[in-house]
Structure 1
Amino acid sequence: MRTNTSPAPATVLVLDDEPSLRTLLGFIVQRVGAIPIEAPDAATARQLATKHTFACALLDKNMPGESGLEFLKWLRVTQPGCNAIVVTAYGNMDSAVEALRLGAFDFLLKPFEVDALEHRIKLALEQWQMRQERERMQAMLVQADRLASLGVLAAGVVHEVNTPLAYILSNLDWLDEELPSLGKALERHGRREGPAAELGSFAERLKAVESTLRDIREGAERVRHIARDVKAFARDSDDESVLVDPREVLDAALKMALVHIRYRARVVRDYQDVPLVLANEARLAQVFLNLVVNAAQAIPEDGKDHEIRVRLWTGPNGEACAEVTDTGTGIAPEHMAHLFEPFFTTKPAGEGTGLGLFICKSIVDSFEGNLSVESCPGKGTTFRLELPPHVRAARAPEQLSAVAS
């Protein structure tokens, strides 16, 4: 039997130094179906904020010690999604403007009507719930786009795996025949039944076996690395950010996109010193993979010497910068303003969802970075990614190297 589970009630912080008013505010919060968490002062509220995530906060403006507006500044940093309503008996237009400037959702004067406050709390909670649902849908879109990208890459992954598997199986077949034959020869030699010259061939045959085993191990390692890259890209990762080396992520994306590139263009890498960045590795790989695959798809199969140039360098403010440039068909001027809009695509029907660049932009924005584009019809397109630095990476600049794919 299937049961419908309701979402957990939202939690509302009630911060006021008057006990009777805290009780009244808590009662109003319960009437709207939320859970009140009461605090008599800002210090207590700070401790509670480390244990609870608040959908809404009712803040008294004037309190002993830290004021409600000072606490609001701190709350906007630690829990930016919380909708705060400032309640005060000493309000004026300047106070209201200051509260809203600091990020308050609303401003209400005491004494207040219970119905009016209840209505405003409902609005604050509804906006919080809508924001939560939007974030959940965006996460689902990111994962859907990642899986769609895997679908595009599936043929290439199968090809990359089949090549090492083919020589693994071929070498195993050879070993299956060679080892029994070698064993019989050793047995004959032990009984002194074989010719003396046979002993000299044992060393050569053993070397061949050792070489074949090394080839098998190399092929198996290659398959394992491909499987690891695909698994890392496909997994439904959480939003946890870690220190990431943009060079390693970009190289992984290039390896996965190789089948789309090798018959259209050569890859030119220009890697200079870059800082580590705080990001989600799988999502950053998704951005690079989308940009590289888009670059490959923008290059016509016209027999010309095309290239995809990928650059890494440190910007003037210490930011990590990356560029993906192609010599493809370029983007029409009338399409430039719509590139990062959801469901906008210039590809034929059935070949694109129009979500790739929109999701790339959303991911980069979540890392507090910037994604921009420049293009010239008939000459190519450049996508530039900028991410704020976290820790400087000790890397020496690398000379420009062209790698024919």
Structure 2
Amino acid sequence: MAYRDWGNPQRALTVAAALMQAPIKQVLSTLSDALSDLVAHEALVMLTGDCPTSATWSHGDAELTEAVTAAEMAQLATHVDIGRPRFDRARLADASRPVLAVASAPPGSAGALLAVLPVDGTAPDPEVLPVVQQLWDLAMLRVMALWPTVVPVNQTAPWMANSERARIVSDLTDSHASTLTSLIGLLRNRSLDDGTARRTAVDLAVSSLIELRSVGDTERVPGEETAHDAFGRLTEMLGLLSRYGNVRLEFEGPVGEAAERLIPSVIAQTARTTARGTVLTMLEQGGVSRVRISWHVEESEVRAVIRDDGPGTLAGDALAVHRLTDRAAAVSGAVDVDAVPGWGTIVTVRLPLAAPERQRNDPLGELNPRELDVLELLVQGHRNRVIAGRLLISEHTVKFHVAKILKKLDVSTRGEAAALALAAGFPTAPALTS
């Protein structure tokens, strides 16, 4: 498909939706397919500071990608600014070759670099570069949302589930997915003429941008919300899906005295994002025409029930992939899935009305996944050379991470950092193999 076809909104949205739904092991291959008509390439190589097991990921010509080292990618990264793709020659796979380098750093990420190795070495058209950047940004949002599914549980369970950065990334992902689903439904709606469809699409995009800019803005969020207001915000979030799509959403909110109950904002936020994520996960099954969302505010908990009329094949693992169970667990809640083939699925989310106290002594909550990896090996008594070998990074990079760890933990020595981590319950058993 030629570059001119990217002027078709449905084409662009379909590609974006595919990226936002790709499993983590298929993100690069999905991105490669999307880039094929923009930049003909032999391979993609990714350098990330967030993955707990490998600094580089790749797709394409195996002989080429296996020869690219993390050190070469790190050197390339020093010449690329975030949001400004750069085409130039660089040393990769032990040879000077043309490469298109694109950098991205979504919220909560240490940053990631994408190296696109063109087939014939021809520079891409300048008008292509912004599209490549946007696709890489979307891919990184998807990767960041899925990182917790590949991070060893014993490294991150106490900290990542409660991480504000992780919450923001998850909210951004859900918001993107909801908007893309709505726009695709709008473009497929044959009852709207072209002019109306375009105007409506612009309104949707503007509303989405406003919502995205407000994500994570905790200064404007009150400490408590009434159940009525909290549920109303959820219906606004999901309303677009039914307005322009083929699914009918039914809402049953709290009534009477229950509607006026005050709910801690952290509980209301978790209930909303979990419910919205569940609806989007249900729609991924296909064959869903109706979803009913109800909230019940009881003496000690908020109970959200989401029921669909789909194939009844939704598994609890699907919710775990989207971190919905983690979000509930972070506030001492739980998610139950009852799927009956041929009869649909019922997901029940139970959240306590008492907001959990934030751990004041939670210094590790500020560390990103890569820093947690370094800290784990540091706790085990390993020196920089061993840590570098275990994590496949340079000793210089290890020194950089150690310095960041000491600063974030407000300590001056490695021993103090290790003692603080152990006091916070950090695992001492090796989680990474040699």
The structure with more radius of gyration? 1
TM-score by length of 1: 0.37
Greater relative contact order: 1 or 2 (C-alpha under 8 angstroms, separation 6 or more)? 2
